[in-house]
Amino acid sequence: MSEKDTLDRLGSQISMYRTTLQKLTIVAAPKHLKEIKRRAPKWCGLISADMGSRGGIHFDVERNAATNPDVEPFMLAHLLWRDEVIDLLKLVGYSDKQLRQPRVHLYQMICEVMSIREITASIRMSMLMRPAWRDHPTRV
């Protein structure tokens, strides 16, 4: 958050992120640090970003991020695309017929057969394997 930003959306952003992100670090201008420390959960990391006299940015770690205890597997699973969830469920034995359900049901199914750690690993692999996505070139 730059010096020109406000913290108006911070509460809603943290509420959204706390269900899906295992770690979160907020980077902000020094003027926001005290209020962010007051409002952000203790597991959130905090980095101060201050512009120097010659225009360079100097970063100071104020607080390291810890593991978020509030991650919800169902919300975490939403980071996977439908086809990715289907592929994972096929690997554990679900049939094509069982997989013809709305995405919300597929997310529930993946939570029944995978731990948070397994879902997280699957998300990482899936994101690396996604072909050109939103104007980003394909990773090799």
State residue 51's pLDDT score. Answer: 86
pLDDT above 70 for 2: no
pTM: 0.73
Q: List pLDDT tens digits, range 114-136.
A: 999 999 999 999 988 887 666 65
State residue 132's pLDDT score. Answer: 66
In this structure, what token pair is assigned to residue 27? Answer: 């980077």
State residue 122's pLDDT score. Answer: 94
CA 72 to chain centre: 11
Q: Burial, 106: exposed, middle or buried (Cβ in 10 Å; 0-12, 13-18, 19+)?
A: buried
Q: List pLDDT tens digits, range 8-63.
A: 899 999 998 899 999 999 999 999 999 999 999 999 999 999 988 888 999 999 99
pLDDT above 60 for 140: no
Other CB atoms within a 10 A radius of the CB of residue 63 amount to 18
Q: What whole-number distance in Å separates Cα of residue 96 and Cα of residue 41?
A: 42
Maximal C-alpha separation, the chain:
63
Residue 82: phi, psi to the nearest 5? -50, -50
